[in-house]
Amino acid sequence: MFYYVSKVAWFFATPSNLLVSLILLGLVLTRFSKLRKFGMAMAVTFTLATLALGILPLANYVLLPLEQRFPAFVDDGKPVDGIILLGGSVEAADSSERGVLVSNEASERVFYALELAHRYPNARILITGGGGTVFSDGSAEAPIIADYLKRVGVDPARIVIEDRSRTTSENGQFSRELVKPQEGERWLLITSAWHMPRAMAVFKKAGFPVTAHPVDFRTNVGFANQRPRAFVSEGLRRLDVSMKEWVGVVGYYLTGRTDELLPSPHE
């Protein structure tokens, strides 16, 4: 129940949805004579706020501390026993319907998993991700990605599918239960850079030591190098992503799903 309540609550609290709702509320209030001025002021204020948040790089500043927490992975020559690919890069329902892989803006996760699969030919490949959205048909991502990797030449015997998890917390828990990592093994964890701090904290909580391999960077390097967006929708989308992840980071910590708010990359 908590899973569905949290998903629905976030839908209405998403910054872009909230801004549009407040604008519409202001317009509705203009229909009442006593509230006309207040409603108009409200509509204008949140319209300007929407434009500012969409064009100015404010969302980048919110996302930057998450993205820069873990540096890009550099091959140090050490052996790799396994590669973990977190879900979130594939539109499972569309992929199932069309019979082809339909990816989203986080598709780099799959591309890098494929690259690492060829770089470390003896490593197992764990794909973790079930049906993680409320407004979907429940199709799991992991089997779809696994089929794609097989089609492009990855040995099926190397692929391990975890298709029950719906959250990052379950990714860590179910992955450990499935592969039972041995002491001394080295597993690389692939997910978006902005999602990596929470993912690393979750896997640490689950007792599954992993090495971060962040991909899908959305911000420029350095606080002073952030640029305005060309389209309002781009900035609002980035704001939605950044705020959702910060809510997840704090929420996971407060509910005990992680033991650290932002884990250190040097452990």
- 232-255: pLDDT as tens digits: 999 999 999 999 999 999 999 999
Which pLDDT score is estimated for 136?
A: 52
Which pLDDT score is estimated for 79?
A: 94
255 CB-near residues (< 8 Å, 6+ apart): none
Residue matched to tokens 């209405």: 12
**Percent above pLDDT 90 for the chain:** 76
3-state secondary structure of 31: coil
**Percent above pLDDT 70 for the chain:** 92
Which pLDDT score is estimated for 35?
A: 94
pLDDT band at 215 (very low <50, low <70, confident <90, very high): very high
Work out whether strand 187-192 and strand 124-128 pair parallel, antiparallel, or are unpaired. Answer: unpaired
Integer Cα distance of 145 and 128 in angstroms: 10
Is 257 part of any domain? no
The CATH number that applies at residue 185 is: 3.40.50.620
Q: Are residues 59 and 126 in the same domain?
A: no
Q: Are residues 195 and 87 in the same domain?
A: yes
Evaluate whether 164 touches 174 at the Cβ level (below 8 Å). Answer: yes
Which pLDDT score is estimated for 3?
A: 56
Integer Cα distance of 164 and 134 in angstroms: 15
Q: How far is CA 102 from the centre of its chain?
A: 17
Q: Are residues 59 and 77 in the same domain?
A: no
Instruction: Using alpha carbons, select from 102, 80, 112 the residue that is nearest to residue 191.
Output: 112
Please tell me the total count of domains within the chain.
2
Integer Cα distance of 9 and 118 in angstroms: 41
Residue 137 has pLDDT above 60, yes or no: no
Q: Are residues 101 and 79 in the same domain?
A: yes
Is 195 part of any domain? yes
Predicted model pTM: 0.88
Integer Cα distance of 20 and 94 in angstroms: 27
How is residue 150 written in tokens?
A: 């097989």
pLDDT band at 4 (very low <50, low <70, confident <90, very high): low
Which pLDDT score is estimated for 132?
A: 56
3-state secondary structure of 162: strand
Residue 138 has pLDDT above 70, yes or no: no
Strands (E), the chain: 82-86, 124-128, 159-162, 187-192, 211-215
202 CB-near residues (< 8 Å, 6+ apart): 168, 169, 171, 172, 252, 257, 258
Is 207 part of any domain? yes
Span 24-79, pLDDT tens digits: 999 999 999 899 999 999 999 999 999 999 999 999 999 999 999 999 999 989 99
Query: Residue 49 is part of which domain span?
Result: 2-66+230-250
Q: Are residues 121 and 60 in the same domain?
A: no
Q: Are residues 114 and 185 in the same domain?
A: yes
Q: Are residues 54 and 168 in the same domain?
A: no
Mean pLDDT of the chain: 90
Residue 180 has pLDDT above 70, yes or no: yes
Q: Are residues 14 and 141 in the same domain?
A: no
- Provide the 10 A C-beta neighbour count for residue 200: 27
Residue 112 has pLDDT above 70, yes or no: yes
Which pLDDT score is estimated for 130?
A: 84
Q: Are residues 61 and 80 in the same domain?
A: no
Residue 9 has pLDDT above 90, yes or no: no
3-state secondary structure of 1: coil
Integer Cα distance of 87 and 153 in angstroms: 20
